Amino acid sequence: MYKQINSIVISSLMVSCVWFLQLSCSHNKQKPVDGPGTEQTVKERDSAEIETLIKEEKIPSFEAYCKSIPIGEEVEFFELSWPGDDRLCESYDKTDGPLTYRVYRLKESKRIVRIYEEGAFCQGDSDFGYYFLFDQNGNAIYSQNVALFPSITFYESGKEMIEVEYDSEFDITDFRKIKKINSGEVLTTKEYENKIEEYRETMRERSASLRTFIAKTNDADDIKEAESLIEQLQSSLRKKVEYQDGYVYRKPLPMEEGKSGELCMVNALDIRVRAEPNSTSKVISKVSYYNNHIEVIDIEGMETIEPLGTHPWYKINFIDWNASAPETTEGWIFGAFIVPDIFEKRE
């Protein structure tokens, strides 16, 4: 599962795990041609409830976050990771599971825009994964917890305001609990200033604990496993804390041959998915900013839809939860509803 989560982060980042919930960079107030419709299903009423709570609590939209990052801005990252215990799970004091921790920041300003972490306890038990988005002041604005029972949290000036919990990672478009928090606690990037060194110290302590374990055991296989873990931990520690290039803030591009499509995010509720790349073709489904695993396959044509302007159409592959039985479906959405994100650079 960890490889699956990390591959999604690498290809789309936000982002986002088994299947990341998709977030928005704005909440449209109008109902344009291919925006929210008038009919309401149970799921649409639930998503509207989130929208109402956000407005009641005066939660700022993601629009300011998106506008604060210029399209084409280069993004750099630092990754720290360590292996998990399998054979030696709970055999020594500092036993632990696998972990990957990534910090994404704008290359020019060094402003942190995203923190991502995934891992588990030893033997892969109780896996977890989450990421946070931060505004230009370093305050959290959105977080996503990806686990057996996922949740998303909306923040205002770094304070938790609204949390949405889901039934399970396999049914994440059905809302189960929407609650106001108003905890008063503020989450900012300062919470993570020393996180990298804290994790490096954890690796040192774990290496020392493994050496103590080796000195006390006579099991050759256990010793071999412990020595392998120590070497992997020390290899990670030998790497300098240096940020790497490789990402850019942009809209998703069409699928490349032999590769998966980039994961797309939309910026409103109930965006119409059409059978063909034009505003008069049949509506086959809808997607919203909380939908998961929206993959861009192709980009085609140009159309002007006021007041949204002129944009191309994006062909997407997505899980259609509006169908009688959830299934993978392909369709087209208007480019005005596709938001930029952090993606790998392309030649």
Strands 295-305 and 327-334: unpaired
Helices (H), the chain: 2-12, 42-56, 63-67, 195-216, 220-238
Cis peptide bond prior to 254, omega within 30° of 0: no
Token match 């996922």: residue? Answer: 150
Predicted pLDDT of residue 103: 96
Give the separation between CA 108 and CA 81, rounded to whole angstroms: 25
Cβ-based neighbour number of residue 161 at 10 Å: 19
Predicted pLDDT of residue 38: 44
Predicted pLDDT of residue 201: 97
Give the separation between CA 112 and CA 314, rounded to whole angstroms: 29
Give the separation between CA 291 and CA 272, rounded to whole angstroms: 13
Nearest to 339 by CA among 76, 142, 173, 187: 142
Q: Is 316 left (phi over 0), alpha (psi -120 to 50) or beta?
A: beta
Could you report the per-residue pLDDT of 64-101, keeping only the tens digit for each? 666 778 889 999 999 999 999 989 998 999 999 999 99
Predicted pLDDT of residue 256: 86
Give the separation between CA 118 and CA 300, rounded to whole angstroms: 35
Which residues, other chains included, contact 143 with Cβ-Cβ below 8 Å and sequence gap of 6+?
130, 131, 132, 133, 152, 153, 155, 187
Could you report the per-residue pLDDT of 26-57, keeping only the tens digit for each? 333 334 456 554 444 445 556 667 667 766 76
55 vs 49, 52, 128, CA distance in Å? 10, 5, 30
Which residues, other chains included, contact 56 with Cβ-Cβ below 8 Å and sequence gap of 6+?
none
Structure tokens at 329: 């479906």
The 3-state secondary structure of 76-102, one letter per residue: EEEEEEECCCCCCCCCCCCCCCCEEEE
Predicted pLDDT of residue 35: 59
**3-class DSSP state for residue 252?**
coil
Rounded to a whole number of angstroms, the CA Rg of the chain reads: 22
**3-class DSSP state for residue 60?**
coil
Give the separation between CA 225 and CA 209, rounded to whole angstroms: 13
Burial of 279 (0-12, 13-18, 19+ CB in 10 A): middle
Predicted pLDDT of residue 63: 64
* Sign (positive or negative) of CA dihedral 53, 59, 64, 68: negative
Give the separation between CA 151 and CA 179, rounded to whole angstroms: 11
Predicted pLDDT of residue 15: 35
Give the separation between CA 45 and CA 51, rounded to whole angstroms: 10
| Edge-to-edge strands, sheet with 341-344 | 175-180, 159-166, 151-156, 140-146, 128-134, 112-119, 99-106, 74-82, 244-250, 341-344
Predicted pLDDT of residue 62: 61
b (16+ CB within 10 A) / e for 88-106: bbebbebbbbbbbbbbbbb
Could you report the per-residue pLDDT of 174-206, keeping only the tens digit for each? 555 677 777 778 999 999 989 999 999 999 999
Predicted pLDDT of residue 5: 36
Regions of the chain with pLDDT less than 70: 1-48, 50-51, 54-55, 57-66, 124-125, 147-149, 166-177, 289-292, 321-326
Predicted pLDDT of residue 11: 37
Structure tokens at 315: 């062909």
Predicted pLDDT of residue 223: 96
